[in-house]
Structure 1
């Protein structure tokens, strides 16, 4: 595991390349919903109401947002910028039109 710089969450140089790792969790309650956070098991920036509706997050993988691989149905740059400003990124299933679609209402 890469040691994280305390000033830049989960960013480090590895083999001369900048890495920005994030942890991706899936929801057991909301099929197709994923929560991205900068540090594994750190949900301190995620609103408690969101976590309540999301359910217990289940780790899917650690992912390098600055790497060559792309994410499915979401732009890596959008995820990176949202995590930097908000502390987390929520990806919801396109067909889900419930509570998750208005994240601003549950903050």
Structure 2
């Protein structure tokens, strides 16, 4: 690959924004489903955002990161879109932990 670091960073940022948009367009995909299949979820993205900000000496709260990832406060997202985990989901999630 022959692209400069600035261009690569811009592409990575645009890709991240596209991922967030894709997740926003598919709210039916529950965080637990993401954890089962991909071993990360929207909350992980929020935590990673905070962690990377810290590395750049920039303070970002988890609430602010949730706002970026969920496009609304996390509590609001949970109330509107998060459903209780099914027995099957919990079983699949717990079996991955082992």
| TM-score bracket relative to the smaller structure | under 0.3
Structure possessing the higher radius of gyration over alpha carbons: 2
* Structure 2 length-normalised TM: 0.23
Q: Which one has a larger percent strand, Structure 1 or Structure 2?
A: 1
TM-score by length of 1: 0.22
